[in-house]
Structure 1
Amino acid sequence: MKKILLLGLISCLFLSCKKEHKIANVERAFYYWKSDNWNISQKEDSISKKLNVKKLYVKFFEVDYSDAMGNFPISKTQLYLYNLDSITIVPTVYIKNAVFLKSNQASLDTLADNVNFLITKFYKEKFREAKPLTEFQMDCDWTLKSKDNYFYFLKKLKSISQKEISCTLRLYPYKYPDKMGVPPVDKATLMCYNILNPLQNHTKNSILDIDELESYLDTDKIYPKHLDVALPIYSWMQVYKNEQFSNVIYTDNKMVKKLLKEIKPLWYSVTKDTVINETYLRIGDKVKFEEIDARKIEQTIHLLKKYVSFDKNTTVSLFHLDDEQLSNYTNEELSGFYSAFSK
């Protein structure tokens, strides 16, 4: 009898380890992260509709800091959208960590007032046909030194706006909430990309490395907030001139690969003088080309379902809505990134 019970216990433990956490109702979303005078193209609009996307996280602006100006907004979007009666717009603001390292409570009170004012003003001007504004999302790579100020700001913004407040959540604070704290928000979006420092990890894909991802997700702790999730559907090239890092280019993978010769995994040499997105590439320039294919995203979804306990209703976002980046996937693949969470 004891042997049967022991075998039963072992079997249950084994099955529980293999159990995947499915999402019953997936709300499909995109991030829209373009600034200045960009607008959604016909292709981007068409794909969104075909995928039945019902939510857009739109970066309204960023907040930076300087000793001369204090906290100030930059990179404002001029996006206009029409026929928005079925779309939920979530205004998103990226705030640089320096803002919270340099601010006191009085300036954070002012910042919360200004963020609320600017979001509300812009929303009324540009998205009059959209659903009523219900949520703000804040995006910040907070650190131990900035944590208290950032959390204070989030509480103040909630009080002033009377809106649902969400924030982005990187993998490190997800795994170590006791050390990094849990932000005082209604919910958080787990960002499954930009895992490594691209300039310090030359042999790994800094956007998304599966082994690194699993090391962060593999934790016994259940995060004490509702978690949505965001996946990367972008690629980039890190350009090196004379062995020194120059800049990053986002581009169409198929087009740019015709101009590159592989040196070693992830690394290429430019074979023809050319201009890509206002960057002049010379023969011999080196490029670290990091791309995310459909298989890598499918592996990511498998790990998320294995380790993360999702609520019944969860938003799955793809970062980000850009026709060049979308061209790297079929519509079936893009749709599958959403539906896989329910299978």
Structure 2
Amino acid sequence: MPNTPLRLFWLFLVLCSAACNQRPKFISFYYWRTTFAPDSTEQTTLKDNSVATLYVRYFDVNWPDTSSAPAPVAPVHFDSIPAGYTIIPVVFFRNRVFERSTPATLPALVDKIWALVRRINASAQTHPKEIQFDCDWTEKTKDNYFAFLRGYKQRSGDIISCTIRLHQIKYPDRTGIPPVDHGVLMFYNMGNIDAGPGSSIYDRSIAHRYTPSLRTYPLMLDLALPIFAWSLQIRDGKVIQLLDKMNARSFEKDTNFISTGPQGFSTRHACFRGGYYFQENDVIKIESVSRDGLLEIVSEVNRHTNHRIRDLIFFDLDRQNLEQYDKNLFKEILDHTD
């Protein structure tokens, strides 16, 4: 029979090794504005939650109909240097870029993106070793997109992550597994934008159709959670436009609107608000995710991933978004992942 003290010693080593491999989770935020200049509320949130990493949108990439090549759109400008934070650049691609690309044009695209990222890094006085790409690729574009990811990895040597939607989790045999170091599960924008009772940001019934597939998805994942809100302007039962960055607070003190419930308003008088024109009797449908909804998302993801989720990234760092929630919410959600 093996020596009991020796057996206990080896058990101790195994347990220590397992504990060391489970690194602590962290709270991070996306920063999705064209000028980097966090205000006092945003800075306080970062400090109170011990945030060390910011995922900063550097620019979009589109392929205009009038152009013979893809081009960057609205690069970020740093009004202040993000001292004390690890900055991870995020580049958003319109899917049409990879619809129009060919294997022959991809090396030039890699070089163009790599060079612009380096210039923005220099302006921010930051030296990131990781970059994230955001693209809702399809079966049609996956080969070009994945070739771009491999090319960028070879060119830069950076850690590469990319965003992954729920439908790409469920159908990896069709949409493919991206060749990246890890993914970011975007747990929002999953419903239809319509006048019905559901929410296009988070719909529990839709999410439940996809989350069981997380159990077999091979990539380690971060989890991106929605703290943003928007409104839908509805006229004669049809959505006529999406009102970005307009939540309940945008209407509740304006006498031109009357509340029809916790998530809606009706227009009493024709008016302008937030740069939008409203006719009398227009309906405003507010869409956001409550505290309970965010905790529900984390519980659902945990249940199907055996706690393989790494960090939480909230979209996005903006005073208007932060003021919707209790200041302790972010730590509460982080604790909920254990």
The TM-score, its normalising length taken from structure 1, stands at: 0.85
C-alpha distance in 2 between matches for 1:298 and 1:182: 28
Instruction: Find the counterpart in structure 1 of residue 335 from structure 2.
Output: 339
Instruction: Find the counterpart in structure 1 of residue 267 from structure 2.
Output: 270
Q: How does 1:1-343 map to 2 (within 5 A)?
A: 25-35=24-34, 37=35, 39-69=37-67, 70-82=69-81, 84-85=83-84, 87-126=85-124, 128=125, 130=126, 132-199=127-194, 202-219=196-213, 221-241=215-235, 243=238, 245-259=240-254, 260-261=257-258, 268-311=265-308, 314-342=310-338
The SS at the match of 2:209 is helix
The SS at the match of 2:189 is coil
Q: Check whether the contact 1:55–1:89 (CA below 8 A) recurs between aligned residues.
A: yes
- 1:95-138 deviations in Å (ceiling 9; x for gaps): 00000011111222111111111111101112x1x4x3110100
Displacement of 1:220 after TM fit?
A: 7.1
- 1:209-253 deviations in Å (ceiling 9; x for gaps): 112112210237421111111100011102235645133231243
Corresponding pairs, count: 313
C-alpha distance in 2 between matches for 1:153 and 1:217: 28
Instruction: Compare relative contact order (CA 8 Å, sep 6+) and give the higher one, 1 or 2.
Output: 1
Q: Check whether the contact 2:307–2:337 (CA below 8 A) recurs between aligned residues.
A: no
CA RMSD in angstroms, aligned pairs only? 2.2
The SS at the match of 2:223 is strand
Letter in 2 for 1:217: T
Letter in 2 for 1:327: E
Q: 1:265 to 1:81 in 2, by over 3 A?
A: closer
Q: Check whether the contact 1:51–1:331 (CA below 8 A) recurs between aligned residues.
A: no
C-alpha distance in 2 between matches for 1:125 and 1:84: 13
The SS at the match of 2:25 is strand
Unaligned ranges ≥5, structure 1:
1-22
Letter in 2 for 1:256: F
Displacement of 1:273 after TM fit?
A: 4.3
- 1:251-303 deviations in Å (ceiling 9; x for gaps): 24334244544668955422344443322333322222212110111111110
Displacement of 1:182 after TM fit?
A: 0.2
C-alpha distance in 2 between matches for 1:266 and 1:83: 36
- 1:178-225 deviations in Å (ceiling 9; x for gaps): 2211000000000000012314x7331010011211221023742111
Q: 1:67 to 1:282 in 2, by over 3 A?
A: closer
C-alpha distance in 2 between matches for 1:52 and 1:276: 36
C-alpha distance in 1 between matches for 2:285 and 2:245: 12
C-alpha distance in 2 between matches for 1:76 and 1:326: 24
Instruction: Find the counterpart in structure 2 of residue 13 from structure 1.
Output: none
Q: Check whether the contact 1:270–1:283 (CA below 8 A) recurs between aligned residues.
A: yes
Letter in 2 for 1:284: N
Q: 1:119 to 1:192 in 2, by over 3 A?
A: same
Q: Check whether the contact 2:215–2:306 (CA below 8 A) recurs between aligned residues.
A: no
C-alpha distance in 2 between matches for 1:115 and 1:173: 24
The SS at the match of 1:158 is helix
Displacement of 1:306 after TM fit?
A: 0.7
C-alpha distance in 2 between matches for 1:236 and 1:169: 22
Unaligned ranges ≥5, structure 2:
1-21
Instruction: Find the counterpart in structure 1 of residue 9 from structure 2.
Output: none
Letter in 2 for 1:27: F
Q: Check whether the contact 2:214–2:305 (CA below 8 A) recurs between aligned residues.
A: no
The SS at the match of 1:306 is helix
Instruction: Find the counterpart in structure 1 of residue 16 from structure 2.
Output: none
Identity among equivalent positions (%) equals: 28
C-alpha distance in 1 between matches for 2:31 and 2:233: 24
Q: Check whether the contact 1:205–1:266 (CA below 8 A) recurs between aligned residues.
A: no
